[in-house]
Amino acid sequence: MGERGRLRLQPDEVPAAVPSAEELLRRVAAGDETAFASLYDLVAGPVLGLATRVLRSHAQAEEVAQEVLVEVWRKATRYEPERGSALSWVLTIAHRRAVDRVRSHQAGVDREERAGLMDVRRPFDEVTESALAGLEQQRVRQCLSALTDLQRESIVLAYYNGYTYPEVAEVLKVAPGTVKTRIRDGLIRLRDCLGVDR
């Protein structure tokens, strides 16, 4: 190829080297948000993959992945390069979080089973129970109707239809952060309306 056909980079056009995960983590420890965004892009996929394998639920894995990345931001100063790679450190946090979630879920299932066994032994008045449940549902409906449309729709989609926050955001065409805020505010208003203790 002749001199004219060659592509030449000018000194200011040389592509910058992509920093390693270790370098990004060092910068994150110093509070560099841009470095955190780059680290996030680098490790989010492996973290989500590991969490999905452990939890076998994509929705729960997404939640755990978000928790892990928040923990990485908060605890970046604890990373010790001599003990292993940055990715290994992040994946260790992810594995620990995912296993904790599995254990927590199993403990909840065990509690429910124990409570169910205890309930079988109690005398049960089906008519009274049905009437109380009907009154409670009516109170919940009244309190839900006092919420804003976005709060009510977000809560119904998330808690009654089982949607994740990102799915609620997609259905309602709003940002996920807005959904979280509306659900939080709506639950506070519901709690106050229903007179539930904090």
Domain assignment present for 114: no
* Dist CA 66 CA 54 (whole Å): 15
What is the secondary structure of 125-160 as a DSSP string? -HHHHHHHHHHHHHHHHHHHHTS-HHHHHHHIIIII
Residues 102 and 159 in one domain: no
Same domain, 42 and 77: yes
Checking if the pLDDT of 127 tops 80, the result is no
Residue 166: which CATH number? 1.10.10.10
**Same domain assignment for residues 30 and 93:** yes
pLDDT tens digits along 19-46: 999 999 999 999 999 999 999 999 999 9
Q: How many domains does the chain have?
A: 2
Domain contains 73:
yes
Label residue 50 by pLDDT band (50, 70, 90): very high
62 with 22, same domain?
A: yes
pLDDT of residue 109: 72
Domain encompassing residue 182: 124-194
Q: What is the pLDDT of residue 142?
A: 82
Residue 11 in any domain: the answer is no
CB atoms within 10 A of CB 69: 20
